[in-house]
Amino acid sequence: MLRNRSVEQYLKEHMSFYIFVGVIFVTGVVFGAVMVNALSVEQKEEIMRYLSNFFSTVQSGGLEGDIPGSFKDAFGMHMKWLLIIWILGMSVIGLPLILILDFLKGVLVGFTVGYMVGSLSWKGLLFALVSVVPQNLIVIPTLMVCSVTALAFSVHLVKNRFMSRKGAIYEPFMRFCGVTLGSAVLLAGVAIFQAYMSPMMMKWVTPMLVSLAAS
């Protein structure tokens, strides 16, 4: 009962942050999808050549041969996002930059899925469902939780340092660090999934895309 009450209190205090961050992210997704239509013919051809080479690599099992390297790249990328959010959360000036990061994450997802669907139709959607969606079902909520915690901690710093509202900073700081560490562990699991499972899932749908991307 006490735990449920604490969770309820947490959601009550931070719901406005979650809504705001969610809107920023969705706006980024829409913006990324719209960006696909702004690409020139030459840019689309260059991306398609890259995709054709990537599909060929996946089909030949090239990604499966370097699982440690794939894990290192995926884990390193996730940790960079977390580290940047943590550093920005420790400073007042990081407030708008955290929101920019959430917007950019949305742009990346929206552009990737939008281009795949726009260029390869339902086959592109199928590839996006096995290559982009699974890990982002965990990555995006995790980064949103970290962003909200960082925003809340920054606001707490503002209230204590600049508005003369004295309050304990130890508990919010430890909560912020705890959420960041927990997120790192969770994203390590996502990186393992990306290294081991994603190549097999992509290899399953790639044969139908190789000839389409090359044409």
pLDDT digits 0-9 by tens, 109-164: 999 999 988 888 888 888 888 888 899 999 999 999 999 999 989 888 877 766 55
CA distance 34 to 56: 28
* More confident site: 60 or 128: 128
Q: What is the dihedral sign for C-alpha 50, 77, 154, 156?
A: positive
Distances in Å between the Cα of 162 and the Cα atoms of 150, 167, 171, 207 are: 18, 12, 19, 59
Whose structure tokens read 């990346």?
108
What's the domain range around 209? 2-214
Q: Which residues of 141-165 are buried (b: 16+ CB within 10 A; e: fewer)?
A: ebbbbbbbbbbbbbebbeeeeeeee
**168 token code pair:** 């304990």
- DSSP 8-state code for residue 167: -
How many domains, the chain?
1
The model carries a pTM of 0.85
pLDDT band at residue 99 using 50, 70 and 90 as cut-offs: very high
Structure tokens at 73: 């790249």
Cα–Cα distance for residue pair 88/92, rounded to 1 Å: 8
Q: Alpha-carbon distance 186 to 178, whole Å?
A: 12
Q: Among all chains, which residue has been given the structure tokens 């809107």?
A: 23
